[in-house]
Amino acid sequence: MEALEGIRVVELSIAVQGPAAGGYLSDMGADVIKVEPPMGDANRWYRGNHNELPLESVGTQFIGASHGKRSVCVDIHTEIGLELVDKLVDSADVFLSNYREPALERIGMGYERLSARNPGLVYATANGFGPDGPARENRMSDQYSQARSGISGVTGTPDDPQLIPGAIIADTGGAMALVMGILTALVARQRDGLGQKVQTSSYGAMIWMQAWEINHTSATGHLPTRDGAFHPIVSALSGIYEAADGVAFCLGIREDETWREFCEFGGNPALADDPRWNQREGRDPFRDQTAMDRISDVRPFVAEMMKTHTSDEWQDFFDIHPDGAMAQRVLNYEEVLDDEQALVNGYIVDKDIPHIGQRRVAGIPTRLSRTPGTAKNMFSDLGEHTSELMQELGYDEDAIAEVESHKAPPF
């Protein structure tokens, strides 16, 4: 038995933030019904750069966010379309959407109306910038929430323009926050049987994920700035350094004896005796501001020493010092797909994707000992389950045919 078995979710969402939340709930056992417009969720067709996969294959964002769901294709602006979605929501525990709430109101999917029909419904929405305030109705995609959240102000080097991180962390973070809200509301419902409205945003998630950096700015009055390969607040030698062959490591050296051996192996034994850094407090300052101010002086020495050996030679060194040094080779996505640590934990799994074939894809980040989820290997065609679900709700063949005629994929 999976943890969310018996929970029905009706998802009316597009792109990543809403669908990714639904995808996780599906992986944990929920019956997720994805309601799609006549052309389908745009992510079915969005291809991204360097994509020569067959045109009939689903988009690569869709693979991660919309697997494991039953698809209903319906024009909700028609009388029968609204009636069908109403009946689906009446049967559901959760309504999930990342449409802006005014748009949901216009199509009859507002909170007051749906909760009146189904008082136990958990009504969960996520938008770009939050449910209140002047930006509550602003259009959003991932990068704009990142830009507003402050993360670009600490990404990159001081002499270069601010950067957007190379992954859709705002949308994905918003999906995580949405899942947390949904599960919390389901627990609360166990006490009194009543649902409630859950609201979050990708902007709110980005702020929450940067709580330390934002709180540090507020408490100290010091604005963190871009520091390249190093964290803007962590005053330690830890950061990213390149070996002689150009392969990078994220490296920190904590134990004093390991520091000595590192300096000797790196060809600078005299540095091991430098009183500024020969003790851990000098390399990884906890409270000493003077030591923190000196960290920028030791980093160039570490960079020079890392250039004296290849990545394999350094990996051998770090392997025999697992407690004294924290060292992680920087991987690209191809290497992550083959990483034994990711595979054995189910963070990367194999799936058979229609029109694409067997591929390794992202799995589930959480494991439950008694009711574990599974990364669902189902990629529904547009409207694949419309007839099935309408039959479950008691519709006749004529009504089913009418709704089936709504489907109008662009390809």
Question: With the C-alpha atoms ordered 167, 171, 176, 179, is the resulting torsion angle positive or negative?
Answer: negative
Backbone angles phi, psi at 115, to 5 degrees: -70, -30
pLDDT band, very low/low/confident/very high, at 286 (cuts 50, 70, 90): confident
Number of Cβ within a 10 Å radius of residue 270: 8
Give the pLDDT score at 47: 87
Give the pLDDT score at 339: 99
User: Is residue 244's pLDDT more than 90?
Assistant: yes
Is the Cβ–Cβ distance between 379 and 63 less than 8 Å?
yes
Buried b (16+ CB within 10 A) or exposed e, 281-310: ebbbbeeeeebbebbeebbebbbebbbebe
Local structure of 324: helix, strand or coil: coil
> Quick check: is 36 in a domain?
yes
Considering 309, 330, 351, which residue would you say is the last residue of a domain? 330
For residue 326, what are the contacts with CB-CB under 8 A and spacing of at least 6?
A: 238, 250, 251, 252, 253, 254
> Quick check: is 218 in a domain?
no
Residue 298 to residue 275: CA distance in whole angstroms: 12
pLDDT per residue over 145-165, tens digit each?
Answer: 999 999 999 999 999 899 989
For residue 319, what are the contacts with CB-CB under 8 A and spacing of at least 6?
A: none
Mean pLDDT over 3-29 rounds to: 98
> Quick check: is 233 in a domain?
no
For residue 353, what are the contacts with CB-CB under 8 A and spacing of at least 6?
A: 57, 58, 63, 359, 361, 379
Q: What is the CATH number of the domain that holds 252?
A: 3.30.1540.10
Do 346 and 325 reside in the same domain of the chain?
no
Do 346 and 368 reside in the same domain of the chain?
yes
pLDDT band, very low/low/confident/very high, at 217 (cuts 50, 70, 90): very high
Do 154 and 270 reside in the same domain of the chain?
no
Q: Which two tokens stand for residue 121?
A: 């419904």
Is the Cβ–Cβ distance between 362 and 347 less than 8 Å?
yes
Please name the residue that has the structure tokens 């449910």.
131
pLDDT band, very low/low/confident/very high, at 362 (cuts 50, 70, 90): very high
* Percent of the chain residues past pLDDT 90, beyond the cut: 93
Do 349 and 322 reside in the same domain of the chain?
no
pLDDT per residue over 107-146, tens digit each?
Answer: 999 999 999 999 999 999 999 999 999 999 998 889 999 9
Residue 67 to residue 374: CA distance in whole angstroms: 11
Mean pLDDT over 79-86 rounds to: 99
H helix intervals, 224-284: 256-265, 280-283
Give the pLDDT score at 410: 81
Residue 264 to residue 171: CA distance in whole angstroms: 46
Higher-confidence residue of 56 and 23: namely 23
Give the pLDDT score at 320: 96
Higher-confidence residue of 46 and 6: namely 6
Do 194 and 319 reside in the same domain of the chain?
no
Number of independent structural domains in the chain: 2
Which residue from 356, 396, 395 is spatially nearest to 379, judged by alpha carbons? 356
Helix or strand run (H / E) with residue 239? strand 239-242
User: Is residue 287's pLDDT more than 90?
Assistant: no
Q: What is the CATH number of the domain that holds 33?
A: 3.40.50.10540
Distances (CA, A) of 354 to 32, 59, 324, 351: 20, 11, 47, 10
> Quick check: is 89 in a domain?
yes
Do 138 and 94 reside in the same domain of the chain?
yes
Helix or strand run (H / E) with residue 95? strand 94-97
Do 373 and 351 reside in the same domain of the chain?
yes
Give the pLDDT score at 409: 87
Do 186 and 262 reside in the same domain of the chain?
no
Residue 86 to residue 12: CA distance in whole angstroms: 12
Is the Cβ–Cβ distance between 236 and 283 less than 8 Å?
yes
Residue 199 to residue 65: CA distance in whole angstroms: 19
Mean pLDDT over 224-246 rounds to: 94
Residue 85 to residue 64: CA distance in whole angstroms: 25
Do 50 and 122 reside in the same domain of the chain?
yes
CA angle 139, 143, 147 (to 5 degrees): 95
Do 326 and 341 reside in the same domain of the chain?
no
Give the pLDDT score at 55: 87
pLDDT per residue over 321-361, tens digit each?
Answer: 999 999 999 999 999 999 999 999 999 999 999 999 999 99
> Quick check: is 220 in a domain?
no
Mean pLDDT over 363-389 rounds to: 96
Is the Cβ–Cβ distance between 115 and 109 less than 8 Å?
no
Do 283 and 356 reside in the same domain of the chain?
no
Distances (CA, A) of 37 to 30, 93, 221, 253, 406: 22, 22, 49, 54, 8
* Percent of the chain residues past pLDDT 70, beyond the cut: 100
Residue 218 to residue 327: CA distance in whole angstroms: 32
Helix or strand run (H / E) with residue 116? helix 111-117
Question: With the C-alpha atoms ordered 41, 42, 44, 45, is the resulting torsion angle positive or negative?
Answer: positive
> Quick check: is 198 in a domain?
yes
Give the pLDDT score at 165: 92
Do 157 and 81 reside in the same domain of the chain?
yes
Q: Which two tokens stand for residue 135?
A: 């930006």
Residue 68 to residue 376: CA distance in whole angstroms: 5
Domain span at residue 373 reads 8-209+337-404
Considering 330, 351, 383, which residue would you say is the last residue of a domain? 330
User: Is residue 411's pLDDT more than 80?
Assistant: no
